[in-house]
Amino acid sequence: MYGTIFNLNVKPGHEQDLLELMDGITPKGGVAWFLMKPDDDNADLIGVAVFESKEAHIANANSPKAK
């Protein structure tokens, strides 16, 4: 398995829209993903994406949908 940790800066009022959009997405080679909201008051979310292999992760990162 291979994964990445990322930060999402969410525009105020758009958090629910983002969650609904991402809820139906499982990229090819994806095993799981998680979004976490820190306890502080900023709008950022912390994400973790897990892939079946480094190659699957790189393919996803290079796909047009990921940009």
Which CATH fold topology does 2-66 show?
A: Alpha-Beta Plaits (3.30.70)
What pLDDT was estimated at residue 5? 95
- pLDDT higher than threshold 70 for residue 8: yes
The pTM of this model reads 0.77
Question: Where exactly are the structural domains of the chain?
Answer: 2-66
User: How deeply is 57 buried, as exposed, middle or buried, from its count of CB atoms within 10 A (0-12, 13-18, 19+)?
Assistant: buried
What pLDDT was estimated at residue 54? 96
CA distance 61 to 65: 9
Q: What is the mean pLDDT of residues 38-48?
A: 86
CA distance 27 to 29: 6
Q: What is the mean pLDDT of residues 32-52?
A: 90
pLDDT averaged over the chain? 89
Q: What is the mean pLDDT of residues 6-23?
A: 89
